[in-house]
Structure 1
Amino acid sequence: MTDLQDSPAAAATIDIDKLMAFVGKAVDEVGATLNTALVVLGDKLGYYRAMAASGPTNAARLAQDTRTDEHYAREWLNAQAAGGYVEYDAATNRYTLPPEQIAALTDPSSPAYLPGFFQIALGTIHDVDSVMDAARNNAGVGWHEHNSDVHNGCERFFRTMYNAHLVDEWLPALDGVVEKLQQGARVADIGCGHGASTVIMAQAFPNSTFVGSDYHEASIDVARERARAAGVDDRVTFEVAGSTAFAGAAYDLVTTFDALHDMGDPVGAARHVRESIAPDGTWMVVEPMAGDSVSDNLNPVGRAYYGFSTLLCTPASLAQDVGLALGTQAGPARIRDVVTAAGFTRFRTAAETPFNRVLEVRP
């Protein structure tokens, strides 16, 4: 047994104030971790939507409105009030969902809609045992091996940003792309998942045709249903195909949304894009916002993305052939290395948001 006097902690002089400040931070972190599950619970049980509809409420009313047990509604409300997600009036014993939280937690059309962010986080944490096993065995965890909260939360989170930025900001930031789409272009959406990005583009540009591809068959099944529901299945097709094997050629536009860093062989995928794109075509690569150094990413957004990188994106890459494992915070310099290795000669940042960097890549 190690003598405590020989431990690093004993050898160092501990500042009690700093120690207790860290303990306080840890308490806040545990509360935040539990709140991730509470937000998903509130979303799935309809608590937030009921509060938005009812105005000031109490546990009995919320339970009645959602047909749930009052005991759960009571404790959930108190936890949300303690975290500042709802407001509590002690005089009336009522709870109110502020208008800002109504927008963020109940309105799918809001650019700040957040339930999907919490859902993918909760699903990612749920699979941590598989990630630990993979880390011990130099293995990976494939996207298809995760639970449905990962897949559905991913679509909901990223669809919010695509709805807000894709058609009005990102595509117009690319040189000559909107004009081609308006006239009628051939578009390949690589790593399309549930097809949110593909469907949004198809709705905006009815003269163009779109092919979405993903290796995950269950996601492609959902994407096909999304296209049918949106009424764009006449100009959108989906195929089950990996990033180095999608079909078609002479594409005017190729898109990859928040997926290049997840690929086992991003260089191979880039080479396939280079072979499949028209001579004057454009590859739009949308990646999580990141700088080129660790220090650039030591901020709240970088923290969240490094967390997803450890538990979701890096294991996904390592589960595939090559397993380059770029990481969610790869940064533009590493992405440039990938695409130039594949034969592309032009590369620039076209647009940015707090969560994303939009890159224009040309032959």
Structure 2
Amino acid sequence: MTTAAIDNARLENFVMRTIGDLTAAYTGLMVSIGDKLGLYKTMAGAGPLGAKELAARSGCAERYVREWLNAQAAGHYIGYHALSDTYELSPEHALVLADEASPFFIPPAWNVPAAMWFDEDKALHAFRTGEGVAWGDHHERLACGVAAFYRNGYKASLVAEWLPALEGVQQLLEAGVDVADIGCGHGHSTLFMAEAFPSSRFHGFDTHAESIQQARGNAAKAGAADRVNFNTARAADYPNKQYSLICFFDTLHDLGDPVAAAKHAAEVLAPGGTIMLVEPFANDKIEDNLNPVGQLYYTGSCLICCAHAISEGGKLVLGAQAGQARLAEVFRKAGFTHFRRAAETPFNLIFEVRR
């Protein structure tokens, strides 16, 4: 123990901060339960509801519902009206908690920390040995949580904002070209593009067989199986179809050898083709990422992104907070000469890359 003088005010502030973080973890479980039981959807647009009424409408037990409501009210996720002993979900909070089509919908994201906790023993082993943990070796809730977390954000921005920010790409897609989506996961990003550009052909690749199976099912449901195909392949060995657009959606930093992936992209890219690189938002300096978004991404990077990159050999472990300068260097080493930040959001950086 340190013998330095203790600043009691500083100690108290930090204790309360840790209690706040602990409370957030508890709240995440409450959000997941509220989502899966349809409690938020029942409250959305319904105005003030008592615990008994909400329980009846949702088919749940009143005593549990009341305690859940109080937990949510204490966290200001829902409002409480003391005079009428009722609870209300505001329209703004409904966009975050009840509307599955909203770009702000967050409940499925709590599957990710749930998987992290489930895999704690694997993380401890990795820390002690330096070994990696492959994406497919995590609990199944990880893939589902990540896919759901990114899905609505991509749906809101990919076709409407990101693709138009790339010079000439939208016109090529409208005319009809081949497109590769590397690390496609459940295929949401691939299918959003396929729906918007029916003249083009889309090819999704991922090393995770279970995700590819899910992507094929999503393509069948969307009626796009004739223009979209999904196959297992690594980022450095997928087939050469001279793609006019190659996409890396929050994937490059997960790879064990991102330079090799960039070199392969250069080999299979059609003349005049473009790479769209989407990466987690990060500044180049660590001190500029010390904020809630950085905290979220560094944590995920530690337990998921770096772990997977190491499992693939770890020649260059970028991590989820790589920043523009390091990403540009990857493509420079692969022979690309054009690297431009085309767009950004609070959570993502979007780059246009060309030879």
Report TM bin, short chain: over 0.9
Which residue is equivalent to 1:3?
none
Structure 2 counterpart of 1:108 = 100
1:283 and 2:267 aligned: no
Bigger shift: residues 247-256 or 104-113 = 104-113
Q: In structure 2, what is the equivalent of residue 65 of structure 1?
A: 57
Q: 1:70-114 deviations in whole A, cap 9, x for unaligned?
A: 232122111111111011111111111111111111112222121
What does 1:149-168 correspond to in 2, within 5 Å?
149-168=141-160
Tell me what 1:138 maps to.
130
TM-score by length of 2: 0.97
Indicate if the aligned counterparts of 2:206 and 2:212 stay in contact, CA closer than 8 A. Answer: yes
Alignment partner of 1:200 is 2:172: no
Aligned to 2:190, what secondary structure does the other structure show? helix
**Is 2:301 aligned against 1:341?**
no
SS class of match (1:314): helix
Could you say what secondary structure the match of 2:42 adopts?
A: helix
The alpha carbon displacement at 1:55 in A equals 2.8
What is the aligned partner in structure 2 of residue 315 from structure 1? Answer: 307
The match for 1:223 is 215
Inter-CA distance 323–94: structure 2 relative to 1 (3 Å threshold): farther
- RMSD over aligned Cα atoms: 1.3
Query: TM-score scaled by structure 1?
Result: 0.95
Structure 1 distance, partners of 2:281, 2:296, is 11
**Mean alpha-carbon deviation: is it higher for 226-235 or for 64-73?**
64-73
1:351 is aligned, of 331, 343, 351, to 343
Q: Which residues in structure 2 correspond to 1:39-78 (within 5 Å)?
A: 39-52=31-44, 54-78=46-70
The verdict on how the C-alpha distance between 1:52 and 1:224 changes in structure 2, with shifts beyond 3 A counting, is same
The one-letter code matched in structure 1 to 2:24 is: A
> Is 1:35 matched with 2:17?
no
Residue 215 (structure 1) shift: 0.4
Q: What is the rounded CA distance, in whole Å, between the counterparts of 1:93 and 1:146 in structure 2?
A: 43
- The partner residue of 2:175 within 183, 204, 207 is 183
**Identity percentage of aligned residues:** 46
Shift of 1:291: 0.5
Give SS of 2:277's match. Answer: strand
Following superposition, the deviation at residue 212 of structure 1 comes to 0.2
1:118 is aligned to 2:89: no
Structure 2, unaligned runs of 5 or more: none
Contact 2:45 2:89 in 1 (8 A): no
Residues 120-151 of structure 1: per-residue CA shift (max 9 Å, x gap): 23333332221111111111111111223211
Name structure 1 gaps, 5 residues minimum.
1-6
Deviations 1:292-332 (A, max 9, x none): 11011111111111111112111111111235221100101
Q: What number of residue pairs does the alignment pair up?
A: 355
